[in-house]
């Protein structure tokens, strides 16, 4: 196995050095239906650890358990320190079995195989990013083993296995993003992965297809929580809505049944959320965690509860205009001054008496099924019948 590094010329969207070439030797291939399904080889633990440490092999959070911001505001993989320690100890006491590490190189649908197979020498080469599908905790444990080996190998009585002599079996697959998600979804059946994360990785459902398109093509990209069902306004979370909420509300409100419906709904919601993020750029735009926390103080535009209202509003507008030609105009209504009894202000202002019903004593927002229903009704009425909305609002 060897890795050849050129000068860094550019990075792709995943941060992969696209000009880094790699080569693996002594490779066998598995073919299914006359197509290469898997490249099989083994490499020393030390070499695998080096490739992972240097980011030739990368952790892709979209295909894995997800990521989080640590206390230093750095994006790190979600992992279990206990699991890494357990693997490390099994290697130290020589009980580690050495399960197969599964890697993948991504390609677009219909794209040529980005890996070159030299049949005469049993080698494969490429310069595409290599991503882990299964083996993150093992690679982290391998790094600990290699660090310990390099530090203590010359000391008398040191009895750790030489990572340069311990070969690790590897499968390398060429997959589309959806295929990679499906494969990791199968791994999740036996893993401690949150139900929300399993739902996110399940690309076979129509509702999730729509949310995936929102994640890729709309201004919600990078702002959707894919690991939990809630968002803590404190701490290090900079997301504004959850995958679970969007997926559930799409099924409840739109219930797509065909690929054509998925296409139409996705295109509409992309326009809807693009307009929403543009209108509320002061709270939904690209900003630091501190700035987003500050934005929460003035209105409820990025409270998770409000997204139940947004989705209900989107459904009303979709029924009126599936092409979304008047979305911007309707979204602007949310940011205009309104009057309820003696109060004047913006619809989403925290001071709006409509929201007294959902506010806690400390100013936080109550999130339960009853309040979710309340938000759906308020936004539905606001979007569909202004006269009736003001009539009921002034009765509060």
Total residues found in the chain within this entry: 396
Backbone phi and psi for residue 6, each to the nearest 5 degrees, phi listed first: -100, 180
pLDDT value of position 3: 45
pLDDT value of position 33: 64
Predicted model pTM: 0.60
pLDDT value of position 348: 94
Please give the chain's pLDDT, 396 residues, in tens: 444 443 333 344 444 444 578 999 999 988 766 666 689 999 999 999 999 888 889 888 777 777 777 777 777 777 888 889 988 988 887 878 778 999 999 888 888 888 998 989 999 998 888 998 888 899 999 999 999 999 988 887 788 889 999 999 999 998 888 888 887 877 776 656 677 776 777 766 889 999 999 999 999 998 998 888 888 655 556 789 999 999 999 999 999 999 899 999 999 999 999 999 999 999 998 778 788 888 888 899 999 999 999 999 999 999 998 888 899 999 999 999 999 988 999 999 999 999 988 888 877 888 899 999 999 999 999 999 989 998 888 887
Residue with tokens 């009585």: 157
């Amino acid at each position: 196995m060897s890795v050849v590094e050129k000068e860094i010329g550019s990075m792709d969207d995943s941060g992969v050095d696209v000009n880094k070439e790699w080569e693996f030797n002594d490779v066998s291939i598995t073919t299914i239906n006359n197509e290469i399904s898997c490249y099989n080889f083994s490499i020393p633990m030390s070499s695998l650890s080096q490739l992972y440490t240097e980011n030739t092999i990368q952790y892709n959070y979209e295909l894995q358990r997800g990521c989080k911001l640590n206390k230093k505001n750095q994006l790190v993989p979600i992992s279990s320190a206990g699991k890494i320690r357990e693997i490390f100890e099994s290697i130290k006491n020589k009980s580690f079995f050495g399960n197969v590490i599964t890697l993948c190189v991504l390609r677009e649908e219909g794209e040529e195989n980005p890996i070159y197979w030299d049949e005469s020498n049993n080698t494969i080469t490429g310069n595409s990013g290599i991503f882990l599908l299964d083996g993150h905790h093992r690679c982290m444990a391998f790094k600990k083993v290699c660090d310990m080996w390099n530090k203590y190998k010359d000391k008398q009585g040191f009895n750790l296995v030489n990572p340069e002599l311990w070969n690790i079996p590897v499968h390398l697959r060429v997959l589309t993003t959806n295929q990679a998600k499906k494969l990791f979804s199968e791994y999740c059946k036996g893993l401690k992965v949150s139900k929300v994360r399993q739902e996110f990785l399940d690309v076979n459902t129509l509702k999730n297809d729509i949310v995936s398109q929102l994640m890729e093509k709309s201004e919600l990209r990078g702002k959707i929580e894919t690991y939990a069902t809630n968002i803590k306004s404190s701490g290090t979370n900079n997301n504004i809505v959850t995958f679970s909420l969007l997926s559930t509300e799409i099924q409840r409100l739109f219930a797509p049944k065909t690929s054509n419906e998925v296409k139409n709904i996705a295109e509409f919601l992309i326009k809807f959320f693009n307009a929403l993020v543009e209108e509320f750029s002061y709270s939904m735009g690209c900003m630091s965690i501190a700035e987003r926390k500050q934005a929460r103080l003035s209105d409820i535009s990025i409270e998770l509860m409000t997204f139940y209202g947004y989705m209900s509003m989107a459904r009303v507008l979709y029924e009126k205009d599936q092409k979304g030609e008047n979305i911007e105009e309707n979204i602007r209504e949310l940011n205009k001054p309104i009057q309820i009894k003696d109060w004047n202000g913006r619809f989403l202002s925290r001071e709006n008496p409509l929201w007294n019903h959902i506010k806690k004593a400390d100013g936080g927002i109550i999130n339960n099924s009853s309040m979710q229903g309340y938000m759906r009704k308020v936004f539905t009425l606001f979007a569909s019948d202004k006269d009736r909305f003001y009539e009921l609002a002034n009765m509060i």
